[in-house]
Amino acid sequence: MTASTFEQVRSVASDIFGIPAAEITTESSPETIENWDSMQHLNLVLAIEEKFGVQLEPEDIEQMKSIGAVAALVEKLQSAAR
């Protein structure tokens, strides 16, 4: 995972969860972010799809259990698309 992808995912997550980007790490998850419920999870998925122009499969969405996992997934999909 590159720093750049993580930064971008983090800034999307900051918008969605309403917390400062600086407080978000690769380890941040539904356990550490209070707002991260199922509706916000959907919002995060939609924002990521829109931002990176990728299509997440239901199986992918289940894997998105931390910000680090989201960033890794985005990179995987982007490199597959190239």
Partner 1 sequence: MHDSNSNSTPDSTSAEHNPPNLRAEIDRFIAEGDFDLASRRLAELWRRDPASGTASFMTSRLDDLRDKTRDKLALTTFKLAILRSFTVEPIVPLLRSEAFAHGIDLEVHVGDFNTYVQDMLDSQSSLYRFAPRAVVLAVRTEQVAPELWRDFADLAPEAAQQAAERVVRGYEQWIGAFRKHSQSALIVHSLERPSSPSLGVLDDQSEAGQSGLIRQINRELRRIAAGFHGVYALDYDALVARHGSEQWHDERKWLTARLPIAAGYLLQMAREWMRFIVPLSGRTAKVLVVDLDNTLWGGVIGEDGMAGIKVGPEYPGAAYQGLHRALLDLSRKGILLAVCSKNNLADAMEALEKHPGMLLRPKHFAAMRINWTDKAQNLREIAQELNVGIEALAFMDDNPFEREQVRAALPEVTVIDLPKNPLEYAAAVRNCAAFERLTLSAEDRQRTEMYAAQKERSGNEQTFQSKEDFFRFLEQEAELEPVTDLTLARVAQLTQKTNQFNLTTRRYTEPQIAEMTKQPGWHVFSIRLRDRFGDHGLVGVAIAHDVGEQCEVDTFLLSCRVIGRTVETALLAHLAESAAQRGRKRLEGWYLPTKKNAPARDFYQQHGFEWQVTNCEGSLWTLDLTSCTLRCPDWIKLKVSDGVTEGNRGGKN
Q: Which residues bind partner 1 (CB under 8 A)?
A: 4-5, 7-8, 10-12, 15-16, 18, 21, 39, 42-43, 45-47, 49-53, 55-58, 61, 78
By C-beta, is 29 or 40 nearer to partner 1?
Answer: 40
Could you please report the per-residue DSSP string of the chain? --HHHHHHHHHHHHHHHTS-GGG--TT--TTT-TT--HHHHHHHHHHHHHHHT----HHHHHH--SHHHHHHHHHHHHHHH-
For the bound state, the minimum distance from the C-beta of residue 78 to partner 1, rounded and expressed in Å, comes to 7
Task: Using the minimum distance from each CB to partner 1, give the nearer residue, 7 or 27.
Answer: 7
